[in-house]
Amino acid sequence: MTAPPLPQPRGDLSAAVVSTLTGRDTAPTDTPPATVDPYGEDLQLALYTLYELHYRGFEGVPEELEWDPGLLALRRSLERPFLAALRRDVPPGGSAEEALDALLVEPVGYDDSSVSHHLQRDGELWQLQEYAALRSLYHLKEADPHAWVIPRLRGRAKAAMVAVEFDEFGAGRPDEIHARLYADLMTDLGLDTTYGHYLDRAPAPALATVNLMSLFGLHRALRGALVGHFATVEVTSSPGSRRMAAALRRTGAGAAAQRFYDEHVEADAVHEQIVRRDVVGGLLADEPHLDPDIAFGVHATGLLEDRFGSHVLKAWRQQHSALRT
């Protein structure tokens, strides 16, 4: 399995991370300045790069750096402003049930703030290609960070979580792993399927949606938020996937491209019920104090998905690329 190359830095923070990983420097001990944008290109790329050490790593970077104390301290100093911004910007209060119920309310008619609605009705092939390239950073590791919550659950919640993840990982068939199906989609769209290939082209809003999964997954204290993230993905996946499948058919994309979303229309309609009843319900039965954390995970996921969608649609409406290069 080939690791991707290190990304090109986008500022002082990401430059320090890359310099440390290549052995040219030691991990800085200074905390990021208060003026750093927690959603900005520099911090999000620095976080993404550090998180990637827990996935496939990078070409030429020693694997033992995954648990280097200096890099872990640096990562924590970057996570703090990111998490603080999320807690500041998500709606306060509310239960997990209320947060998930709100996701079931689909807009009446065309939603001009939704990427999938735009692609279904007006999207062009080049826009579908860009969207697939940006989402590859998410979908080529789709189920992996959610798996980190499994040892932190028990009983009904754990059994249900494993059942849903089993489907995400192909139910024992390697050619049915959802990340593999997404690579097939990319092939049909003429994209490079190499893991991490589009990292340098992905803007901060795309990186943030992936960093959120890693942030929640790597911290046991955020297990409730990760379950909230997982539930949000499963609850919203089926209708969004139906629109994406229609967009791919309308623009003449290949059968493999359509199959990825067709699979999610069917599978996630079932997963939604399991996740709400048994994963969320089971966790709350065991640890009812995590209810606000689950709601926070739901709202934080929606916040970053909205930021990503706004970035993409703003660029397309101006007939610009949503990619950085």
| The amino acid at 223 | R
Residue ranges of the domains in the chain?
12-89, 96-317
Q: What number is the average pLDDT over the span 38-59?
A: 97
Residue 238 pLDDT grade (very low, low, confident, very high; cuts 50, 70, 90): confident
Question: What local confidence, expressed as pLDDT, does residue 1 receive?
Answer: 65
Q: What are phi and psi of 60, to 5 degrees?
A: 80, 0
DSSP 32: P
Please list, in sequence order, all residues whose beta carbon lies within 8 angstroms of the beta carbon of residue 182, skipping any fewer than 6 positions away: 135, 136, 139, 140, 142, 260
User: Which tokens sit at 289?
Assistant: 């104090």
**pLDDT above 70 for 267:** no
pLDDT band at 16 (very low <50, low <70, confident <90, very high): very high
Which residue, among 105, 38, 77, has the nearest Cα to 302 in the 3D structure? 105
Residue 19's alpha-carbon distances to 3, 24, 52, 61, in angstroms, are 18, 5, 15, 11
| Mean pLDDT over each residue of the chain, to the nearest integer | 93
Check: CB of residue 316 under 8 Å from CB of residue 115. Answer: no
24-37 residue pLDDT tens = 777 777 778 888 99
Q: What is the DSSP annotation of 138-173?
A: HHTTTTHHHHTTGGG--HHHHHHHHHHHHHHTGGG-
Share of the chain above pLDDT 70, in %: 97
**Nearby residues of 104 by Cβ (< 8 Å), 6 or more positions away:** 235
Contact by Cβ (8 Å): 81, 43: yes
Q: How confident is the model at residue 194, as a pLDDT?
A: 96
pLDDT tens-digit map of 214-237: 999 999 999 999 999 999 999 888
Judged by DSSP in three states, 90 sits in coil
For tokens 């297990």, name the residue: 223
Long-range contacts of 89-97 (CB under 8 A, 24+ apart): 89/303, 90/296, 90/299, 90/300, 90/303, 91/299, 94/295, 94/299, 95/291, 95/292, 95/295, 96/228, 96/231, 96/280, 96/284, 96/291, 96/294, 96/295, 96/298
Residue that the structure tokens 């959603």 belong to? 39
pLDDT at 248: 92
Q: How far apart are CA 75 and CA 52, in angstroms?
A: 11
Instruction: Give domain 96-317's CATH number out of 3.30.450.20, 3.40.30.10, 1.20.910.10, 3.40.50.1580.
Output: 1.20.910.10
Other C-beta atoms within 10 Å of 89: how many? 14
Residues 6+ apart with CB under 8 A from 31: 77, 80
Query: What is the pLDDT averaged over residues 15-19?
Result: 95
Residue 205 pLDDT class (50, 70, 90 cuts)? very high
Q: What is the mean pLDDT of residues 300-323?
A: 96
Q: What is the mean pLDDT of residues 141-146?
A: 90
Residue 107 pLDDT exceeds 70: no
What span, in angstroms and rounded, lies between the C-alpha atoms of 43 and 215? 13
pLDDT above 90 (res 295): yes
Quick one: tokens of 227? 């379950």
What pLDDT is stored for residue 84 in this prediction? 97
